Structures are given as C-alpha cells and as structure tokens.
C-alpha cells in the first residue's frame, strides 16, 4: 500500500503541475467557461464549433491533457480488447496492428496526424523502426511529447511539427504512410482533412485511422440519444460526431480506395467502455473507475482550494466526468463507437 500511496502523491503532483497546459494559471477558469460555451448544453451550436474548431480543440487539450495522462497514460485512445488482456496491453496491441496494416518498416517516413503527446508515435516507432513525425496544433502537447521522446531515446528519429491538419506545411507526396488515432474527429470538415492527408501521402501508399462515430443505431429524434451525443462532444472537444457512413464517404470523396473498414467495437470481447463503467472496478485501472474518478475529483478540488491547481480545474474535471458518462451510455446503447477503423490507399 505504501508504494501505491507514493505513486498517488507523485501522480497528484504531476497532475497539478500540468493543469491548464500553456494557458496562464490565472486564465484557466475563463478558458474553461469559453470552451463550455461552444457546446449545446451551454447555448452553443454545431456551426460555431466548426468555425472555431482550432480554438476549441486547443483550449480543450490545454485544459484536459494532464487529466488524460494522469488517468489514461500516454496514448489517448480506446482499443479492441481480448479477455484476460489489460487496457494498456490492448492499446499497445492496437498500435502494433495499425503499424502492420500500414506495412511499416525501418527507413519509412510516417506521419501521425493529431499525435497528442506522442504515445502511439513512440510505440509504433519502436515496434516498426520507422521514423514518425507527429503533427499537432497544441503547443503544450508538443512540448510534453518532446520530453517523453527524449526520455526514451527517440529524440533524433522522431519529431513534432506544430500545424493545423486542415493545412499541413508539407510538400505533396512526402510520406510513405499516414495514420490518425482518435484525432481527425476534431476536424471541422472531415473530407477536407482527408484531402490534406491524401495530398501529403505518396501514391500507392496507405492511410489508417480510428474514428469516433455514431452508429446506425443512433436516432437523432431521440432526446436521450441527443443528450449522450452532446455530452461526448462537450467532454471530448468535438465539433460534431459523424456517422460511420459519413466517415467512409469522406475518405472516398477525398480520392482514397478503401482497403478495409470495420467497427472494432462490434467484435471486441471486452466492451471498450468497461474501464469507465461505474459498475466496474479494477486495481490496474483504478483512476478510470467510478471510485478513482471520485478520488481525482476530490483531489483536484483540494489542490484548487490550496492554490496548487489553478482556479477552474475542478470545472474541467466535471465536464470530463460528464464525458465518461456519455461514453459509457453511448457504448451500452450501441449508438456510438470510438473504434471505427479504416484503412485506405492513395491510387497510383
């Protein structure tokens, strides 16, 4: 128990030091309020979110990244999970699967679109031997990613570029492969984003993506379904959640040929939302459980009270909690999936 207590103290200090990202500590509360106003439950609308997607996503990740890393680790995505497999093992296996689908090997130049703090980038680079560039528009996540790359000896072979994935600063036909893990869901115009990926990818090569999507079970006239959708958008910085069909059509419309597509949630022996389910308890993923999230909420409230965390931190914790509730309900009702996986090729 002493080791767990020591780890909790260290984790709390890391969480407190990163809260707010690059936002001034005095401005965290106002940034959280401005972020909330983009969303439906606070009077916002889809068009406003789309036209301000970059500001919204930047505010979201400045506010939320430390919570993500504290609770989820370095890779901010879900994964198809086998029975007997830990969450962390499933995430790594999914990243290996992605590398295998793209045929990655040493010497290849690969682009990670919307790379977060680089968890998948580092795992895929080590697994495949490829050189991976992480594209990200959030300064705080890039600075954190560089620290982590240097800590594992990847500072010379993998790098980061700060830019908007709707307007990439790369020449045509630059990369041997491109992938995106739970990131292009932030795009204001998915086909426009896919067209940029198509442009920088070499002819004959592949792009793979995990997309957050509504399934065919979603009913836009059902107020319960709409509430779940609103909670997921608010808690995850999304301008709008698209359907699996819309994502597939966006890829085809951008010029890609479909190699393979599948909602991996449908074939996952362990429900993808299980780590967030209030009825589930796990020592390995304690911080994600209902008790763990209660502990985090209390911790953040205490840190804010004693001025170790900026004012507004508890507010961020609250909308992330709402996100968890929306994700679990969306998963249970099978109206939402964070694992619509597509592999597409740029024609020769």
Q: Examine the domain organization and report whether 311 and 255 are in the same domain.
A: no
Q: Is residue 279 part of a domain?
A: yes
- The encoded tokens of residue 131 equal 């050189």
Give the CATH number for residue 120: 3.40.50.150
Q: Examine the domain organization and report whether 118 and 203 are in the same domain.
A: yes
pLDDT tens-digit profile of 192-220?
999 999 999 999 999 999 999 999 999 99
Label residue 323 by pLDDT band (50, 70, 90): confident
Are 98 and 78 spatial neighbours (Cβ–Cβ below 8 Å)?
A: no
**Least reliable range by pLDDT among 90-99, 155-164, 274-283:** 274-283
Helical axes 53-72 vs 290-305, angle rounded to 10°: 110
Label residue 2 by pLDDT band (50, 70, 90): very low
Q: Examine the domain organization and report whether 97 and 123 are in the same domain.
A: yes
- The encoded tokens of residue 267 equal 């074939």
Q: Examine the domain organization and report whether 255 and 124 are in the same domain.
A: yes
Q: Examine the domain organization and report whether 64 and 100 are in the same domain.
A: no
Q: Is residue 171 part of a domain?
A: yes
Q: Examine the domain organization and report whether 253 and 319 are in the same domain.
A: no
Label residue 278 by pLDDT band (50, 70, 90): confident
Q: Is residue 231 part of a domain?
A: no
What count of other Cβ atoms lies within 10 Å of the Cβ of residue 12? Answer: 19
Q: Examine the domain organization and report whether 181 and 108 are in the same domain.
A: yes
pLDDT number for residue 317? 85
Q: Which of 49, 26, 25 is nearest to 36 (CA)?
A: 49
Query: Reduced to 3 states, what is the DSSP secondary structure of residue 179?
Result: strand
Q: Examine the domain organization and report whether 212 and 110 are in the same domain.
A: yes
Q: Which residues are registered as beta bridge partners of 162? A: 136
* pTM exceeds 0.75: yes
pLDDT number for residue 4? 39
**Least reliable range by pLDDT among 26-30, 90-94, 310-314:** 310-314
Label residue 277 by pLDDT band (50, 70, 90): confident
State the Cα–Cα distance between residues 193 and 257, nearest whole angstrom: 16
Q: Examine the domain organization and report whether 103 and 217 are in the same domain.
A: yes
Q: Is residue 233 part of a domain?
A: no
Q: Examine the domain organization and report whether 155 and 66 are in the same domain.
A: no
pLDDT number for residue 13? 59
pLDDT number for residue 1? 35
State the Cα–Cα distance between residues 59 and 141, nearest whole angstrom: 12
Q: What domain range is 33 assigned to?
A: 2-76+270-331
Q: Is residue 235 part of a domain?
A: no
Q: Is residue 310 part of a domain?
A: yes
pLDDT tens-digit profile of 17-32?
678 888 898 899 999 9
The residue behind tokens 């919570």 is 67
Q: Is residue 81 part of a domain?
A: no
Q: Examine the domain organization and report whether 122 and 178 are in the same domain.
A: yes
pLDDT number for residue 5? 40
Domain tally, the chain: 2
Q: Does residue 7 surpass a pLDDT of 50?
A: no
Query: Reduced to 3 states, what is the DSSP secondary structure of residue 45?
Result: coil
Q: Examine the domain organization and report whether 165 and 306 are in the same domain.
A: no
Q: Is residue 156 part of a domain?
A: yes
């Amino acid at each position: 128990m002493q080791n767990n207590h020591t780890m909790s103290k260290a984790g709390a200090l890391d969480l407190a030091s990163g809260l707010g990202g690059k936002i001034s500590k005095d401005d965290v509360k106002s940034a959280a309020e401005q972020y909330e106003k983009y969303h439906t439950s606070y009077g916002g609308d889809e068009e406003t979110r789309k036209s301000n997607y970059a500001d919204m996503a930047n505010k979201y990740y400045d506010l939320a990244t430390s919570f993500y890393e504290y609770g989820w680790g370095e890779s901010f995505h879900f994964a198809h999970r086998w029975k007997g497999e830990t969450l962390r093992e499933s995430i790594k296996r999914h990243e290996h699967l992605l590398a295998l689908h793209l045929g990655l090997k040493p010497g290849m130049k690969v682009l990670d679109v919307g790379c977060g703090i680089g968890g998948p980038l580092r795992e895929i680079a080590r697994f495949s031997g490829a050189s991976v560039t992480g594209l990200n528009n959030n300064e705080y996540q890039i600075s954190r990613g560089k620290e982590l790359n240097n800590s594992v000896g990847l500072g010379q072979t993998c790098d980061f570029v700060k830019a908007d994935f709707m307007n990439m600063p790369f020449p045509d036909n630059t990369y041997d492969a491109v992938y995106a893990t739970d990131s292009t869901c932030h795009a204001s115009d998915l086909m426009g984003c896919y067209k940029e990926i198509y442009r920088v990818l070499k002819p004959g090569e592949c792009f793979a993506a995990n997309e957050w999507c509504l399934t065919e079970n979603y009913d836009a006239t059902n107020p319960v379904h709409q509430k779940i959708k609103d909670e997921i958008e608010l808690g995850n910085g999304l301008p709008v959640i698209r359907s699996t069909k819309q994502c597939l059509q966006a890829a085809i419309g951008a010029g890609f040929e479909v190699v393979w597509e599948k909602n991996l949630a449908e074939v996952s022996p362990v429900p993808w939302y299980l780590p967030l389910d209030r009825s589930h308890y796990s020592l390995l993923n304690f911080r994600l459980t209902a008790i763990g999230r209660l502990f985090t909420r209390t911790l953040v409230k205490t840190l804010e009270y004693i001025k170790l965390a900026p004012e507004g931190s508890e507010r961020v914790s609250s909308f992330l909690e709402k996100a968890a509730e929306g994700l679990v309900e969306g998963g249970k009702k099978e109206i939402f999936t964070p694992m619509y996986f597509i592999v597409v090729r740029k024609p020769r």
